[in-house]
């Protein structure tokens, strides 16, 4: 089995609707990844084990999505020096503003790169993870350039309804 380079974790199965957009990007670039549910609140022992072992397993970056009191990305960052990309998942009562603020306001010394709320943030976290890997991989870097070129082309060719 191919060893995963990126780990995509989420606080609950209910976050998948959002987090699948990160996974879709990794699929598109043929990056080996793993996706799993880990919760700082509900499975704290698993969180410590996961974050403590990730680097030794060859993981290069962790995308962590959570909603509400979204402590997952920050707690993972507390237990590893791997880059942690935090995705605020839309929440039922506060539309994800709670998730965003929980993730973005980290104390100095424990960084989490925080993305936008919801699907676009998850997709951008996926693209950012690809960009991190592309720093030392010229083939992947060229694929990223091509992705951007196609996106520009599709915006320039967009036709508005009459």
Ligand X SMILES: Nc1c(C(=O)O)ncn1[C@@H]1O[C@H](COP(=O)(O)O)[C@@H](O)[C@H]1O
Answer yes or no: is 42 a known binding residue: yes
How many C-beta atoms lie closer than 10 Å to residue 40's C-beta? Answer: 22
According to the binding rule CB under 6 A, does residue 98 interact with ligand X?
A: no
Closer residue to ligand X (CB): 33 or 50: 50
Shortest Å distance, C-beta 92 to ligand X: 8
Give dist(CA 153, CA 12) in Å, integer: 37
Contact 96, 88 (CB under 8 A): yes
According to the binding rule CB under 6 A, does residue 42 interact with ligand X?
A: yes
Sketch the per residue contact string, 100 through 139, with ligand X: x for CB under 6 A, - otherwise.
Answer: ----------------------------------------
Q: Which one among 4, 7, 12, 114 touches ligand X, defined by CB under 6 A?
A: 12
Closer residue to ligand X (CB): 54 or 133: 54
Enumerate the H helices of the chain as residue ranges: 16-28, 44-53, 72-79, 97-104, 119-134, 138-156
Answer yes or no: is 15 a known binding residue: yes
Q: Of the candidates 85, 8, 18, 13, which has an alpha carbon nearest to the alpha carbon of residue 50?
A: 8
Give dist(CA 55, CA 61) in Å, integer: 9
Binding footprint of ligand X on the chain (CB under 6 A): 10-12, 14-15, 39-42, 66-72, 89
User: Which residues fall in the annotated binding site?
Assistant: 12, 15, 42
């Amino acid at each position: 089995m191919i060893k995963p380079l990126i780990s995509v974790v989420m606080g609950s199965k209910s976050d998948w609707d959002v987090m699948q957009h990160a996974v879709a990007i990794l699929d598109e670039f043929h990056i080996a990844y793993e996706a799993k549910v880990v919760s700082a609140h509900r499975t704290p022992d698993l969180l410590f084990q996961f974050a403590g072992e990730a680097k030794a397993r060859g993981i290069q970056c962790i995308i962590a999505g959570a909603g509400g009191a979204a402590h997952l990305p920050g707690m993972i960052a507390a237990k590893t020096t791997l880059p942690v990309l935090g995705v605020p998942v839309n929440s039922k009562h506060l539309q994800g503003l709670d998730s965003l603020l929980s993730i973005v306001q980290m104390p100095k010394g424990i960084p989490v790169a925080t993305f936008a709320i919801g699907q676009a943030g998850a997709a951008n976290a996926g693209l950012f993870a690809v960009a991190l890997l592309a720093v030392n991989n010229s083939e992947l870097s060229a694929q990223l350039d091509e992705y951007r070129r196609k996106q520009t082309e599709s915006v320039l060719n967009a036709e508005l309804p009459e």
